[in-house]
Structure 1
Amino acid sequence: MSQAVVQEPPERTGVRVRVQKLGTALSNMVMPNIAAFIAWGLITALFIEQGWLQGIFAGLRDPDGWVAKIGGWGAYDGAGIVGPMITYLLPILIGYTGGRMIHGNRGAVVGAIATVGVVTGADVPMFLGAMIMGPLGGWCMKKLDALWEGKIRPGFEMLVDNFSAGILGMILAVFGFFGIGPIVSAFTRAAGNAVDFLVENDLLPLTSILIEPAKVLFLNNAINHGVLTPLGTTQALETGKSILFLLETNPGPGLGILLAFTVFGKGVARASAPGAAVIQFFGGIHEIYFPYVLMKPKLIAAVILGGMTGVFINVLFGSGLRAPAAPGSIIAIYAQTASGSFLGVTLSVLGAAAVSFVVAAFLLKTDRADDEQDLAAATASMEEMKGKKSSVSSALVGAGAGHSGPIRNIVFACDAGMGSSAMGASVLRRKIQQAGFGDVKVTNSAISNLTDSYDLVVSHRDLTARASQKTGSAIHVSVDDFMSSPRYDEIVEQLKQTNGAGAQTAPEDAPDDEPAADVDVLPLSSIVLSGSASSAADAIDEAGRLLVDAGAVDPAYVAAMHDRENSISTYMGNGLAIPHGTNEAKDAIRRTGLSFVRYPEPIDWNGKPAEFVVGIAGAGKDHMALLTKIAQIFLNADEVARLRQATTAEEVRSILMGAQK
């Protein structure tokens, strides 16, 4: 059985995390609406005055013709479909999506209303304005709802909800019209002037110094659709094409990186690079080459130089696209290429790929590092930046890379083998059983108790190196989010490949079959509905004091809870943190106990929002069944909503103790 260890990625800095979060948020507003961008791009390519259909049909140049009506040119200047789509539809969709990200449907509606204000208050396409007003509308609606949550008399909920959203939307629309709209318009004009300056002075290739690193940090959509698309659209409507549409979407730099790994790479990186090149070049999924650059950051020089080469060639030939190419596939790029620009666009892609390949090949030839393990860590880092599972990461590395036999024994390992590992094991076990692999045993353990007898080991990414020392022959999979990690789905897919159909019944010794923990594990006195802590450290103290007061632990256990948090975050995902002590602190546990604290405002838990904190002290395994139930509750949005709305400690305990498996 071969080893596929995911090593620790570089330590994250506060600035880096904030930049990644911003990039992810902006991307998440744009990506669900890419189809609308494609529809607008095709309509633009076909029906604008310089479009494909010009001259094809008889009477096309007639300003009263049907093509002119659709394109909005000639006698129909400013009408048609092209203008309203770019002016209203696309920004409102972005604003709606941004509001929905913050506060569901109510946030989406208010975000859309607010976006209309900024759209009508500006004289340029308001993508950036939508990215501001959409989330702002959702955030304001969320805060407003929180003011009177649980205080509205029965029968008046709909009245309050509708009027509050309407009034808030009106206020934000006016604010966007008079405030944000003019500011963003001024910024856009300034950016346009800067672009004109760069073009006039032959400095446009220098933009690759910013754009190429930003792509790897998942700021590509913010730059492309937030800045370049509005500027390029204005230019394309005037001249029929824009070079700005090619600054970020050129697939050449990424293709050169992947070709260099195909020839000069090692291990998994070399084996996966050819398939990744096909996906990147023809599928337009540029993110597939990001892990190769993250793995060896010096390769950023190759993509920058490749990008600069491509931009230089496009400037030299005066080439451009009629509309944005989304995704950045060579097929989409050719579909949007303006007449007379095919030669320049083709040479720009080939030139960018060639320069990127040569520079990357040199850097790889002088590098002696092992690519295989680094690529797995880089892929995990990429998914963390993105904020969700990458749809193409399985083309690079997956759970169980190199495994050649069935997987029967999986262990989720953590420092103490108590809270996070039990929670993660419960979620993973449920997924595996639902997939029909009831014969696969999933347990949890402290790293210090691991033996080299497991087929697959799951651990927090900061603990994988330690776990691999104990279980050298096992497959190792790293996770960062215990409740909803994309790695769990990869493990299930690996089981389908290695284990076949699987069994339909759970093993007799599965931890889910243990008897439920006694109610005294969570006494009413250990449930707080409105915590007073304002930081993760204070929340640990608050949850720990409840365990001490209940007689479950000695006071020394609280210090061990802080030690555990300093080592590995106990944030589980879905708003839940479960602080608990280290493995060495088990002597301070008198009996199994839990505490529950709910916070009206989520606490910043290492950059993630924790609304519920469950303190854990586990003696033996008698708390495992309850942890399994808690995991199931926090995977169910309706159950989490019930906890959020509970008004008594009895109600909270009923929810936690009464969940079904």
Structure 2
Amino acid sequence: MTTTSTPKKPGGARVGVQRFGTFLSGMVMPNIAAFIAWGLITAFFIATGWFPNGILGGFGNADLIGWQGAATALAQADDGTTFPQYVGLVGPMITYLLPLLIANTGGRMIYGERGGVVASIATMGVIVGSAIPMFIGAMIMGPLAAWLMKQVDRIWDGKIKAGFEMLVNNFSAGILGALLAIGGFFGIAPIVTALSSFLEGIVDWLVANSLLPIASIFIEPGKILFLNNAINHGVLTPLGVQQSEETGKSILFLLEANPGPGLGILLAFCFFGIGLAKASAPGAVIIQFFGGIHEIYFPYVLMKPMLVLAAIGGGMAGVATNVAFNTGLRAPASPGSIIAVLIQTAPDSYFGVILSVIVAAAVSFGISAIILRASRKRDLENENAGDLSAAVAATEAAKGKKSSVLGNLSAGSAAAGADVVDEGVVTTLERGPIRNIVFACDAGMGSSAMGASVLRNKIKKAGIDEITVTNKAIANLADDVDLVITQRELTERAKEKTPSAVHMSVDNFMNSPKYDEVVELLRGEGAH
């Protein structure tokens, strides 16, 4: 296996924010399924839901007294009579399940299973110490508790007498977890509660003064520069979940997830673009609007930076529409697909949400059309105009890593010859047969999952058996795999996690010619 020289490590404030956002995403994204489950249960069973159910939704009245086995608490009416108030699923899930999942995931990222356990214990103190959902508290306490556990274990590493390891490990984790839970109850919970109240006050002020659309001035350019994860997962999602618990929906879930602005830009390229940009735009529309992969339109904007005005205009129009109709989602829509958005839309918000997508797309399309038409003559005279290769490279540079989705955009130029960037050639294998192949990326979900699917299909068509192809986050890699495939910028990080594995660097998870070489190598091994 040969790879190119290691690129220089990026620096600067932007990269720092990207890494912080990636870390937050690493805690939230693996648990999106739990958010969706909570959102669906909320949508179906609360008092204003599609199929109200007092036991599952957590509300009650005198008519529900006949139910048995449900957890209840006595609620008192204005006239002094009491009736059962069912705890239900909605409240416990948002109060305990979701923050604990985030904390456990953050703890595992820092210190494996042991870190996850201590993080969950410590976060319980933060949860109980506050009256609001402790998502921000879980993001703070989870990694912190795991890091402290790691430092404590280093104190007596290698110094414990044989036979006492389990005793020391269990009691040290239990004692530290208990102390951190108490500290979180009295220390972190009040601070995070005050911070959440402050941030919520800002949002409420923006809404009350019809200024929330201004947020698009920061969010839309932030998306294109991949700085949105810190804002989305660090602020918008926690505040949105809190609002959703209080009112049944939140507009904050729509600030970043609305597919309208990107859709309008891509549609403009379908009609007024030139070259590969125009040819690839229809496929990009499907991936962005239905697949929810918003990064597919970022290279189009970077190719013509003036189009950031279209993204901002579309975003502001969409937010203004949602504000006007008082719409919102019950839970985060991830990925930002129109399907996910509609599934999480509150029952009274369908018209406003759909209209916000249409208005956002129309505004961004109009602005994009003006910009593209104004520069069309100049672009036609420029033989390199409409070539997405440079724009894709700029997008990936801003993101700090390669993207399988963006790689597809330049597939047209690659089809005629070699890939845009030489990916190195697999020459020899300096270890045993390959049986376990892992695709690794930052989150371990989107791009790596697609790459694993492509190679898995190639191996299946080749009739090769007993080969496992999976995808993981780099943080979750263990040194028990045979071949690790990563995007070039992530290879060095993967090597740190799996030094004994063979590592392969690719630029395009979806169309890399290296996959055919891997299949040939696997065939050769089978022949032996």
TM-score by length of structure 1 reads 0.59
Residues 1:156 and 1:68: Cα distance change in structure 2 (over 3 Å):
closer
- Between the aligned partners of 1:11 and 1:35, the Cα distance in structure 2 is 33
Equivalence for 2:440? none
- Between the aligned partners of 1:272 and 1:318, the Cα distance in structure 2 is 36
- Between the aligned partners of 2:72 and 2:39, the Cα distance in structure 1 is 12
Query: Aligned with 2:159: secondary structure?
Result: coil
Q: Does residue 268 of structure 2 align to residue 256 of structure 1?
A: no
Equivalence for 1:33? 31
- Structure 1 position 311, deviation (Å): 0.9
Structure 2 runs not aligned, ≥5 long = 76-82, 380-384, 437-485, 495-502
- Between the aligned partners of 2:197 and 2:117, the Cα distance in structure 1 is 29
Query: Aligned with 1:184: secondary structure?
Result: helix
Q: Give the number of equivalent residue pairs.
A: 440
Residues 1:230 and 1:49: Cα distance change in structure 2 (over 3 Å):
farther
* Residues 181-196 of structure 1 aligned to structure 2 (within 5 Å): 181-196=189-204
* Residues 211-222 of structure 1 aligned to structure 2 (within 5 Å): 211-222=219-230
Instruction: Find the partner of 1:147 among 145, 155, 165.
Output: 155
Q: Does residue 96 of structure 2 align to residue 91 of structure 1?
A: no
- Between the aligned partners of 1:142 and 1:404, the Cα distance in structure 2 is 52
Equivalence for 2:409? 396
* Residues 3-14 of structure 1 aligned to structure 2 (within 5 Å): 13-14=11-12
CA contact (8 A) 2:42 2:90 kept: yes
CA contact (8 A) 1:48 1:73 kept: no
What letter matches 2:21 in structure 1? G
Q: Deviations over 1:437-464 (max 9, x none)?
A: xxxxxxxxxxxxxxxxxxxxxxxxxxxx
Equivalence for 1:80? 88
What letter matches 2:408 in structure 1? A
What letter matches 1:392 in structure 2? V
- Structure 1 position 286, deviation (Å): 2.4
Equivalence for 2:330? 322
Equivalence for 1:42? 40
- Structure 1 position 31, deviation (Å): 0.4
Instruction: Find the partner of 1:134 among 134, 142, 149.
Output: 142
What letter matches 1:53 in structure 2? F
What letter matches 1:26 in structure 2? L
- Structure 1 position 332, deviation (Å): 2.0
Q: Does residue 51 of structure 2 align to residue 53 of structure 1?
A: yes
- Between the aligned partners of 2:68 and 2:41, the Cα distance in structure 1 is 10
Query: Aligned with 1:188: secondary structure?
Result: helix
CA contact (8 A) 2:389 2:410 kept: no
- Structure 1 position 144, deviation (Å): 2.1
What letter matches 2:310 in structure 1? A
Equivalence for 1:121? 129
Residues 1:131 and 1:285: Cα distance change in structure 2 (over 3 Å):
same
Structure 1 runs not aligned, ≥5 long = 1-5, 413-424, 437-476, 507-661
CA contact (8 A) 1:127 1:225 kept: no
Instruction: Find the partner of 2:506 among 462, 485, 488.
Output: 488
- Structure 1 position 44, deviation (Å): 0.4
- Between the aligned partners of 2:303 and 2:163, the Cα distance in structure 1 is 58
What letter matches 1:378 in structure 2? A
- Between the aligned partners of 2:518 and 2:109, the Cα distance in structure 1 is 38
Q: Deviations over 1:471-524 (max 9, x none)?
A: xxxxxx983244448843847953378779636449xxxxxxxxxxxxxxxxxx
CA contact (8 A) 1:98 1:135 kept: yes
CA contact (8 A) 2:263 2:288 kept: yes
* Residues 117-516 of structure 1 aligned to structure 2 (within 5 Å): 117-366=125-374, 368=379, 369=385, 371-381=387-397, 384=400, 390=403, 392-397=405-410, 402-404=414-416, 412=424, 434=434, 479-483=488-492, 484=494, 487-488=505-506, 490=508, 494-495=512-513, 502=520, 504-505=523-524
CA contact (8 A) 2:506 2:514 kept: no
What letter matches 2:262 in structure 1? G
Quick check: 131-140 or 366-375, which moved more?
366-375
Q: Deviations over 1:386-432 (max 9, x none)?
A: xxx6453443346x95235799xx784xxxxxxxxxxxx6799679x
CA contact (8 A) 1:45 1:323 kept: no
Instruction: Find the partner of 1:18 among 7, 16, 19.
Output: 16
Query: Aligned with 1:24: secondary structure?
Result: helix
- Structure 1 position 102, deviation (Å): 1.1
- Between the aligned partners of 2:429 and 2:370, the Cα distance in structure 1 is 46
Residues 1:13 and 1:137: Cα distance change in structure 2 (over 3 Å):
same
* Residues 581-660 of structure 1 aligned to structure 2 (within 5 Å): none
- Between the aligned partners of 2:163 and 2:169, the Cα distance in structure 1 is 11
- Between the aligned partners of 2:427 and 2:518, the Cα distance in structure 1 is 21
Query: Aligned with 1:247: secondary structure?
Result: helix
What letter matches 2:405 in structure 1? V
Query: Aligned with 1:135: secondary structure?
Result: helix
CA contact (8 A) 2:426 2:514 kept: no
What letter matches 2:185 in structure 1? F
Residues 1:238 and 1:63: Cα distance change in structure 2 (over 3 Å):
farther
- Structure 1 position 331, deviation (Å): 1.6
What letter matches 1:402 in structure 2? A
Query: Aligned with 1:480: secondary structure?
Result: helix
- Structure 1 position 326, deviation (Å): 2.8
- Between the aligned partners of 1:158 and 1:277, the Cα distance in structure 2 is 55
- Structure 1 position 295, deviation (Å): 4.8
Pairwise CA RMSD: 4.0
CA contact (8 A) 1:252 1:351 kept: yes
- Between the aligned partners of 1:370 and 1:40, the Cα distance in structure 2 is 44
- Structure 1 position 40, deviation (Å): 0.3
Residues 1:228 and 1:491: Cα distance change in structure 2 (over 3 Å):
closer
* Residues 511-522 of structure 1 aligned to structure 2 (within 5 Å): none
- Structure 1 position 72, deviation (Å): 9.9
- Between the aligned partners of 2:114 and 2:53, the Cα distance in structure 1 is 48
CA contact (8 A) 2:423 2:507 kept: no
Q: Deviations over 1:616-659 (max 9, x none)?
A: xxxxxxxxxxxxxxxxxxxxxxxxxxxxxxxxxxxxxxxxxxxx
CA contact (8 A) 2:118 2:146 kept: yes
- Between the aligned partners of 1:302 and 1:435, the Cα distance in structure 2 is 48
Q: Deviations over 1:18-76 (max 9, x none)?
A: 111111111111100010000000000001111011499xx998455879979999855
Residues 1:147 and 1:238: Cα distance change in structure 2 (over 3 Å):
closer
Residues 1:106 and 1:297: Cα distance change in structure 2 (over 3 Å):
farther
Equivalence for 1:108? 116
Residues 1:239 and 1:429: Cα distance change in structure 2 (over 3 Å):
same
- Between the aligned partners of 1:329 and 1:354, the Cα distance in structure 2 is 17
- Between the aligned partners of 2:108 and 2:10, the Cα distance in structure 1 is 29
What letter matches 1:240 in structure 2? G
CA contact (8 A) 1:111 1:169 kept: yes
Equivalence for 2:79? none
- The percent of aligned pairs where both chains have the same amino acid is 56
- Structure 1 position 366, deviation (Å): 4.9
